[in-house]
Structure 1
Amino acid sequence: MSKVAIITGSGAGLGKGIAQQLAKDGFKVVLQDINEDSLKETEKEFKNDGYEVASVAGDVSKKDDHEKFVKTAVDNFGQLDVYVNNAGIDIVAPFLETTEEQMNKIFAINVNGVMFGTQAAARQFIDQGSKGKVINACSIAGHESYEMLGAYSATKHAVKSLTHSASKELAKDNITVNAYCPGVAKTEMWDRIDAEMVKYNDDMEPGDAFKEFSGAISLGRYQEPQDVANLVSFLASEKADYITGQAIVTDGGLVYR
């Protein structure tokens, strides 16, 4: 019987890559995104590729929306087996210029979203009487703290902590909770980080920040979405049944923990 996975923030970017890999692995997938246009486009692409897929728009910062995501999976496919809390945002700003509005927004999405998604998924796993897996998007910024990324780094440290706490409490229900920690990828998020860093540093030109970070990677190349998807694929599989409470770095050799 095919397993079912929900991937938040999967209309594009790393989330889409993760969803594609899980679909290739035989999962029935529920795509979720706040951007309905990219969500529908990705759903159409998946269906054309022959994957069993459903989609649901919503806001991961809202607790009720996560319940809706779970209901979409159950209504379409009868169950839920894996919940990937992938959705997230970044904020690039000097520490002293980071605003209350920015802090509230990034914590609502990156931290509250992970909490609410884990709760909704765990309740469904328990109701089903089945084991389940929650897989959270952390970051190398959950292991190291970066200048100009103070708020973002704080949220990812919080995600790591939630992963640890949830894994301890939910183990008795045969639910594992882990996180993946990407490094430097050529994504829209990194394009924004690069552009914002140039604004605050007169000595930098467009592309310099990305070049600086990616140039320090031991394996000599920046990250591709597939590099992250491969790790999530493993964590979603039965091969990872004995792994819980871990925030695993997949960065080509940049942050060593």
Structure 2
Amino acid sequence: MGRVSGRSCIVTGAAQGIGRAIGEALLEQGADVCFADINGDKVATVAAENRQKANSYGGQVTHAAVDVTDREQVRAMIDHTVSQFGKLDVKFNNAGVNKPMNFLDVTDENWHFIMGVNGLGCMIGMQEAARQMIAQGTGGKIINTASIASRQGFDNVAPYCASKWAVVSLTQSGARDLAKHDITVTGFAPGVVATEMWEEVDRDLMEIGAAERPGQAMEEFSAEILRGRVAQPEDITGTTTFLASQDSDYMTGQIVMIDGGMTLV
């Protein structure tokens, strides 16, 4: 019996990186998982690749293409998951974007793009998941992806930092409001993680002159990590599975730092 056996879970931003790792770790512990992402073709491939794993651990897999800033698409994703698995127990609001720009160069478009996905997308995901859980009358868990950038501002990713501070606030607000429905709201804050998203950020930082060569930004950030290395997605999933399991039932409104000791709060 796995730690999340029989639990119906949705993970957004699950076509790659941390989101995919979260979903795969849940499968290994017996959960039913909907892998969701704006890239419908890619997430369909991820789901297909994990179907055998799910069967071997006693769970099920489905997938959904979703723009997390579109409420109707989010509702359709939840409806699809419930039609496949019969309920919704755990919702990971993990989809996120970043597009570095130096502080004085940040445009309205850059701000709205990042805040839309990371802020509004989190809010919509929380609301619609909570509505489904309330209708079921069985409680549930909502888990949000924050960042080390939710604890301090960085000069060339200001909108991203603001959006992840928003995730922390939404987590606390949701925890206060949804406790009466037996719904817990928690989150986790990764540091530097070796994923496709970080590779994109690395290229963007070079384009705006914040780095001179590939890998420089990651090396500089890594120098401050007490554990002495960049995280892999698998370093994150022990905590995310814990947050999805009954082991964390008495925790709500909290953000767990998983950054190797980079930010001490």
8 Å CA contact retained: 2:194, 2:232: yes
Question: Do the aligned residues in 1 keep the contact of 2:194 with 2:230 (CA within 8 Å)?
Answer: yes
Q: Which residue of 1 aligns with 2:106?
A: 98
> Which residue number corresponds to residue 182 of structure 1?
190
Unaligned runs of 5+ in 1: none
**d(CA) in 1 for partners of 2:211, 2:193:** 23
CA distance in structure 2 between the aligned counterparts of 1:74 and 1:214, rounded to whole angstroms: 41
The list of structure 1 runs, each at least 4 consecutive aligned residues, that deviate by more than 4 angstroms after superposition, is none
2:223 counterpart residue number: 215
Deviations 1:118-156 (A, max 9, x none): 011111111111110000010000011111010100000
**Are residue 60 (structure 1) and residue 68 (structure 2) matched?**
yes
Output the CA distance in 2 between the equivalents of 1:68 and 1:220: 43
How big is the alpha-carbon RMSD for the aligned residues of Structure 1 and Structure 2?
1.2
Measured in 1, the distance between the counterparts of 2:194 and 2:111 equals 25
Kindly tell me: are residues 167 and 130 of structure 1, through their superposed partners in 2, closer, same or farther at Cα, counting changes over 3 Å?
A: same
In structure 1, what is the Cα distance between the partners aligned to 2:203 and 2:80? 37
CA distance in 2, matches of 1:251, 1:124: 32
Q: Is 1:120 aligned to 2:124, yes or no?
A: no
Cα distance, 1:100 vs structure 2: 1.0
Question: What does residue range 163-202 of structure 1 map to in structure 2 within 5 Å?
Answer: 163-201=171-209
Correspondences of 1:20-59 after superposition (within 5 Å): 20-49=24-53, 50=55, 51-59=59-67
Q: Distance in 2 between matches of 1:52 and 1:240?
A: 23
Q: Mark the runs of 5 or more structure 2 residues left unpaired by the alignment.
A: none
Q: 1:213 to 1:63 in 2, by over 3 A?
A: same
Is 2:84 the partner of 1:76? yes
Q: TM-score, normalised by structure 2?
A: 0.94
Instruction: Spell out, residue by residue over 1:86-121, the C-alpha distance to the aligned partner (whole angstroms, 9 max, x if none).
Output: 000002001111111111111111011110110111
Question: Alpha-carbon deviation of 1:11?
Answer: 1.1
The size of the alignment, in residue pairs, is 257
The code of the aligned residue for 1:219 comes to R
TM-score (norm 1): 0.97
Q: 2: CA distance between counterparts of 1:165 and 1:202?
A: 35
Q: Which residue of 2 is the match for residue 154 of structure 1?
A: 162
Q: 2:23 aligns with which of 1, 19, 28?
A: 19
| d(CA) in 2 for partners of 1:212, 1:254 | 12
Distance change (3 Å), C-alpha of 1:124 and 1:143: same
The answer to whether 1:235 aligns with 2:239 is: no
Letter in 2 for 1:204: E
Q: CA deviation at 1:255?
A: 0.5
In structure 2, do the counterparts of structure 1 residues 203 and 129 end up closer, same or farther at CA, with 3 Å as the change threshold? closer
Aligned residue number for residue 12 of structure 2: 8
Distance 2:205 2:227 in 1: 25
1:132 to 109, 128, 140: 140
